[in-house]
A and B are shown apart, each in its own frame.
Chain A
Amino acid sequence: MDLIVALQSSFGELITAGTAAFVLCAIGLAIHFGFTGLLNFGQAAFAAVGAYGYAIAALDFKAPLVLSVLFGLLCAVIFAVLLGIPTLRLRADYLAIVTIAAAQVFKFVATSSAITDPSGNVITGGAEGLSEFGGTFYSLNPVPAGEYQVFGNSLTQDQIWVDIVGWLLVVVCALLTYFLTRSPWGRALKGIREDEDAVRSLGKNVYLYKMQALILGGCMAALGGMVFVINSQTVQPTVWGTNFTFTIWTVLLLGGATTVLGPIAGGVVFFTLFAFIQKVLEGLVAIHWMGSLTIPQVGQIRLILVGLALMLLVIFRPQGLFGNKKETLFNG
């Protein structure tokens, strides 16, 4: 097995829309957790709400692209408000519990065939999910048809198109976050992260700030969810589980939760490593170094390694790879 080839094709992961989708979710989570101190363990649900909203608008209402996206975002806003109203006046842990629960509830609702349109079709597609909603997106593809070689991976024009749009959205969201967090508005968020009563005593409407942060970060996750499903061309209810949320958390903590570049760097490093380890393990299986393990079985080893890496990271480098050491030095 050639390590160079494995490494090179792993870099292919770096530019995929799948990575961009998680980075978008992680930037949103940086706004929640890194800047405002909101403990959101249901970021996958925000992504799912956006993805379903988009797909349902495109399929059931035959909405054009822009309206489908706006509808997905609107769903995320409503979801954030519903979660925020009962929890944001309470201690931080209430939001954590409610987001975990809401993510589960959303998954069940999407999987069930409870919500139907007047003609009896399950709006969420039930357990099978939804597909073929990407038409309005791919019909706008300006990339000439053909096969493209990127880092030794061969991509279609449609893959190139969704990769480009996914990463453009990352750039837009990162810039938005950068400017917002350096504004007086961002200063109030950071103050709330440190001590919300202090900020309240200075005349700031803490509840409103927390709601705005929850909505904004939730909308970024919704965009991530849309990129994710447009890329995979299907919305499946099982995708948006705790794995999805904890991948987002890993990406965020890997890069550094209190920086804007952190989630991007975290996403790139995480998915490149993830792909690289898979290729190396596959190579080891091919030359019979892994005993009787098969390729799907070694795939599980990756997840163990990810868990281990996350633990080591939080213990030895809590500020993340790119965070400011001082900013966590005094924590706790």
Chain B
Amino acid sequence: MANEIAKGPAAPGVAKVDPILVADGVRREFGGLVAVDVEHLEIPRGKITALIGPNGAGKTTLFNLLTGFDKPNTGKWTFQGRDLAGVPAFKVARIGMVRTFQLTKALSLLTVLDNMRLGAKHQPGESLLRALVRPLWRKREAEITVAAEELLKRFKLDAKSDDFAASLSGGQRKLLEMARALMSKPVLVMLDEPMAGVNPALTQSLLEHIKGLKDDGTTVLFVEHDMHMVRHISDWVIVMAEGRIVAEGPPNEVMKNPAVIDAYLGAHHDSDLGADKIAKEAN
């Protein structure tokens, strides 16, 4: 697996055979605290990459930086060869790099269906002048609605489609946010803790959705604490601790890495990383 994805032996910052996102020297400080300090990072195209690390490791901050929601002190990065440093968040999303938020951002007083429709691209009616001329956007609106309903069905939210998003449970909002992000058919989708709060009955199907994305050619980068999920669906794992990338590699190798066990268990000894399980597999 390592050979298929990485150019050399698995190590922090290893070059990839076919990277979609390449970051260099990305550093973000909050006051005296260095939240992110990534020397070199490459995300493989068409794969599912997990970004793991203890709370406060800087995963969310790195997401914010890469997607234009925050500005680094230094650093540059490219997406599909295009320089993205300083590009505003909405433009980053438009060129196909769409993220979700750790703290869910459902649009409460919009219906579930309208939440979904807002995720779509190329709706001419979103411009002020064309909005007044319904024939200019009615056809596209119908297409968008069909696509939205299809996705809602896949995420088992179709029964809720006319309700305000405010009426959804926390887990359902997470699902809605992910489904909404998919409306634009992103090239790279970045999910910040997509499973947090989601009903366990739904996690299995959510895993299948994410694998399905890969089959459709979408690259996935996700932050997750659930090691079962990481092991189950990711092709590659990147580990962060204290703002730096401390390890990366295929899931089974990474989880045997003493630096990882250290970083993780150093932070929470009672975490569900499953140290025993890792140890067993190592043997």
Report which A residues bind B (CB closer than 8 A): 176, 179-180, 183-188, 190-191, 193-195, 197-206, 212, 216, 258, 326-327, 329-331
- In the assembled complex, the Cα of A212 lies from the Cα of B132 at a distance in Å of 14
- Is the Cβ of A184 less than 8 Å from the Cβ of B126? yes
| B157-175 interface code vs A (CB 8 A; 1 in, 0 out) | 0000000101100000000
> Contacts A203-B90, A203-B93, A203-B98; is A198 near B105 (CB within 8 Å)?
yes
- Is the Cβ of B141 less than 8 Å from the Cβ of A184? yes
Which residues of chain B have C-beta atoms less than 8 A from A331's C-beta?
A: 109
> Contacts A180-B131, A183-B137, A188-B126; is A330 near B93 (CB within 8 Å)?
no
Report which B residues bind A (CB closer than 8 A): 67, 69, 89-91, 93-94, 98-101, 105-110, 114-115, 117-119, 121, 123, 125-128, 131-132, 134, 137, 141, 164, 166-167, 177, 180-181, 183-184
- Is the Cβ of A206 less than 8 Å from the Cβ of B90? yes
Nearest neighbor of B125 in chain A, beta-carbon distance: A184
- Is the Cβ of B108 less than 8 Å from the Cβ of A330? yes
Nearest neighbor of B140 in chain A, beta-carbon distance: A184
Nearest neighbor of A213 in chain B, beta-carbon distance: B128
- In the assembled complex, the Cα of A9 lies from the Cα of B125 at a distance in Å of 45
Which residues of chain A have C-beta atoms less than 8 A from B107's C-beta?
A: 190-191, 194-195, 198-199
Which residues of chain B have C-beta atoms less than 8 A from A201's C-beta?
A: 67, 69, 89, 93, 98-101, 105, 181
Q: Would you give the shortest CB distance from B215 to chain A, in whole angstroms?
A: 24
Nearest neighbor of B126 in chain A, beta-carbon distance: A184
- Is the Cβ of A202 less than 8 Å from the Cβ of B137? no
Q: Would you give the shortest CB distance from A89 to chain B, in whole angstroms?
A: 10
- Is the Cβ of A197 less than 8 Å from the Cβ of B101? yes
Nearest neighbor of A194 in chain B, beta-carbon distance: B107
> Contacts A184-B137, A194-B109; is A203 near B101 (CB within 8 Å)?
no
- In the assembled complex, the Cα of A191 lies from the Cα of B106 at a distance in Å of 9
> Contacts A184-B123, A185-B127, A203-B90; is A195 near B132 (CB within 8 Å)?
no
Interface of A, secondary structure class, is helix
Nearest neighbor of B123 in chain A, beta-carbon distance: A184
- Is the Cβ of B110 less than 8 Å from the Cβ of A183? no
- In the assembled complex, the Cα of A81 lies from the Cα of B108 at a distance in Å of 29
- In the assembled complex, the Cα of A183 lies from the Cα of B127 at a distance in Å of 9
Which residues of chain B have C-beta atoms less than 8 A from A187's C-beta?
A: 110, 114, 117-118, 126
- With beta carbons under 8 angstroms apart, the residue of A176, A184, A212, A258 that contacts B117 is A184
Q: Would you give the shortest CB distance from A225 to chain B, in whole angstroms?
A: 22
- Is the Cβ of A205 less than 8 Å from the Cβ of B110? no
- In the assembled complex, the Cα of A188 lies from the Cα of B125 at a distance in Å of 10
- In the assembled complex, the Cα of A190 lies from the Cα of B109 at a distance in Å of 8
- In the assembled complex, the Cα of A26 lies from the Cα of B180 at a distance in Å of 33
Nearest neighbor of A328 in chain B, beta-carbon distance: B109
Nearest neighbor of A176 in chain B, beta-carbon distance: B132
Q: Would you give the shortest CB distance from B206 to chain A, in whole angstroms?
A: 19
Which residues of chain B have C-beta atoms less than 8 A from A183's C-beta?
A: 125, 131-132, 134, 137
3 smallest CB-CB distances across A and B, nearest first, come from: A185-B131, A184-B125, A183-B131
**Residue picked from A183, A190, A206, A326, most chain B C-beta under 10 Å:** A183
Q: Would you give the shortest CB distance from A64 to chain B, in whole angstroms?
A: 26
Nearest neighbor of B110 in chain A, beta-carbon distance: A190
Which residues of chain A have C-beta atoms less than 8 A from B99's C-beta?
A: 201
- Is the Cβ of B89 less than 8 Å from the Cβ of A200? yes
**A-B contact list, 24 entries, CB within 8 Å:** A176-B132, A183-B125, A183-B134, A185-B128, A187-B110, A187-B118, A194-B107, A194-B109, A197-B69, A197-B101, A198-B101, A201-B105, A201-B181, A202-B98, A202-B119, A202-B181, A203-B90, A203-B91, A203-B184, A327-B109, A329-B166, A330-B109, A330-B167, A331-B109
Nearest neighbor of B107 in chain A, beta-carbon distance: A194
Which residues of chain B have C-beta atoms less than 8 A from A195's C-beta?
A: 105-107
- In the assembled complex, the Cα of A329 lies from the Cα of B217 at a distance in Å of 42
- In the assembled complex, the Cα of A254 lies from the Cα of B99 at a distance in Å of 39
